[in-house]
Structure 1
Amino acid sequence: MRSLYLLSSDEVRVSFCGVVVAEDGAHVFLPRNAELPEKGSRTGYRVASSLMKAIRRYSEDRSSKQHALDEGDGSIGSRRLGLISDLLEDYCNNGLYSRRLSERVMNTGKPDWRRTISRQVPFPGKGGPVYLDVHGTRRRYVSDCEIARIHAAVIRELDSAYGWMVTGSETSIALDILNVPRPKGKVAAQLRAIDSELVSVFSERDIRLLKLLGEYLRCEHGREASSAVIGMRHFHGMWEHMLDKSLLWNFPVNKLLSVPAYRFDDGSIKVAASKGQRTDTVLRLPDSNSFAVVDAKYYGAQGLGSAPGWPDLVKQFFYAKALQVYCPEALVSNAFVFPGKGPLKSAHMLNRSTKQTEDTSYPPIKCLYLDPTDLVEHYISGKKLHIFSKELFVDSEYST
Structure 2
Amino acid sequence: MQPTKGAELLTEEEVLSSARVTTLFPEPEMRNALIQNGVLAPDKDGALRVRFVGVAVAGGRSFQILPKIFPASSANVTSTMRQVIRALRRYARWQPQHRDEAPFLDPTASHTDLNALALADWLIRDYLSAGIYRRLRDREEISGSGQVSWRRTIERMVPVLSSGRPVYVDTVTRSAAKDRDYFVSRLHRQIVESAAQSFGYLLGYGPLNLDHEPFEPFGDLPALSLCQARIRQEMRDAFSDRAMQLLPMLLAWLTAIEKAESANLALYGTSSFYDVWEKACALALGNERDQWQVHIPRPTWRSAEGHIQAADTFAPDIVTRIRDGADEHLLIADAKYYRLSMPPHLQGQPGVNDVAKQLWYQRCLSGAARDRGLTRTYNIFVVPGPEHEEGFWSDGQVDLSGLPETTVKVKRLSGLQALERFADGTALDAERVRAVVMAA
Match of 2:69 in 1: 33
Contact 2:132 2:189 in 1 (8 A): yes
> SS where residue 307 of structure 1 aligns?
coil
Residues 13, 317 of structure 1: alpha-carbon distance in 2 compared, 3 angstrom cutoff: farther
1:87-102 to structure 2, matched below 5 A, reads 87-102=123-138
Q: Note closer, same or farther for the CA distance 1:127–1:335 as it changes in structure 2 (3 Å cut).
A: farther
Q: Distance in 1 between matches of 2:99 and 2:378?
A: 30
Report which stretch shifted further, 186-195 or 53-62.
Answer: 53-62
Among 326, 329, 335, the alignment partner of 1:290 is 329
Aligned to 1:9: 42
Match of 1:130 in 2: 167
Unaligned runs of 5+ in 2: 1-24, 26-30, 108-114, 388-392
Q: How does 1:111-122 map to 2 (within 5 A)?
A: 111-122=148-159
The structure-2 alpha-carbon separation of the partners of 1:322 and 1:199, relative to structure 1 and needing over 3 Å to count, comes to closer
Matches within 5 A, 1:197-346: 197-223=234-260, 224=262, 226-248=264-286, 250-251=288-289, 252-265=291-304, 268=306, 270-274=308-312, 276-286=313-323, 288=327, 290-303=329-342, 304-327=346-369, 331-341=376-386, 345-346=395-396
Tell me the matched-pair count.
Answer: 378
| Structure with higher RCO (Cα < 8 A, 6+ apart) | 1
Secondary structure, in 3 states, of the residue corresponding to 1:323? Answer: helix
For the residues of structure 2 that align with 1:127 and 1:36, how far apart are their CA atoms? 89
Do 1:253 and 1:282's aligned partners in 2 also have CA atoms closer than 8 Å?
yes
Deviation at 1:183, TM superposition (A): 5.9
Rounded to whole Å, the distance in 1 between the matches of 2:152 and 2:394 is: 84
Which TM-score applies when normalising by structure 2?
Answer: 0.74
Which residue of 62, 76, 87 corresponds with 2:104?
A: 76
How far does residue 349 in structure 1 lie from its aligned partner after superposition?
3.4
**Residues 282 and 269 of structure 1: is their aligned pair in 2 closer, same or farther, counting only changes over 3 Å?**
farther
Please tell me the root mean square deviation across aligned C-alpha atoms, in Å: 3.4
2:184 is aligned to: 147
1:355 maps to: none
- Determine helix, strand or coil for the equivalent of 1:238: helix
Return the offset for 1:288: 4.4
Secondary structure of 1:8's aligned partner? strand
So what's the TM-score if we normalise by structure 1?
0.81
Measured against aligned partners, the alpha-carbon deviations of 1:172-227 in whole angstroms (never above 9, x if no partner) come to: 24344596223663211210111122233233223332222112212333441513
Q: Find the residue that maps to 1:365 and give its secondary structure.
A: strand
Question: How far off is 1:162 after superposition?
Answer: 3.1
Structure 2 CA distance for partners of 1:238 and 1:75, relative to 1, 3 Å: farther
Mapped to 2, the partners of 1:69 and 1:238 lie a distance apart of 12
State the match for 2:5 in structure 1: none
Query: Do the aligned partners of 1:15 and 1:235 also contact (CA within 8 Å) in 2?
Result: no
Q: CA deviation at 1:250?
A: 3.2
CA distance in 2, matches of 1:280, 1:100: 51
Percentage of matched positions with identical amino acids: 25
Change (3 A) 1:115 1:78: closer
Amino acid at match of 1:76: F
Q: Deviations over 1:135-162 (max 9, x none)?
A: 2223210232321222122111110133
Conserved 8 A contact 1:20-1:28: yes
2:433 aligned to which of 386, 389, 396: 389
Where does 1:40-51 land on structure 2 (aligned, <5 Å)? 44=78, 47-51=80-84
Among 59, 62, 79, the alignment partner of 2:95 is 62
Q: Tell me the residue number matched to 1:353.
A: none
Q: Which residue of 2 aligns with 1:52?
A: 85
Displacement after TM superposition at 1:119 (Å): 3.2
Displacement after TM superposition at 1:106 (Å):
1.2
- 1:91-114 superposed Cα distances (whole Å, 9 cap, x missing partner): 222322333222221111222223
Amino acid at match of 2:409: K
> How far apart, CA to CA, are the structure 1 residues paired with 2:331 and 2:55?
35
CA distance in 2, matches of 1:164, 1:359: 54
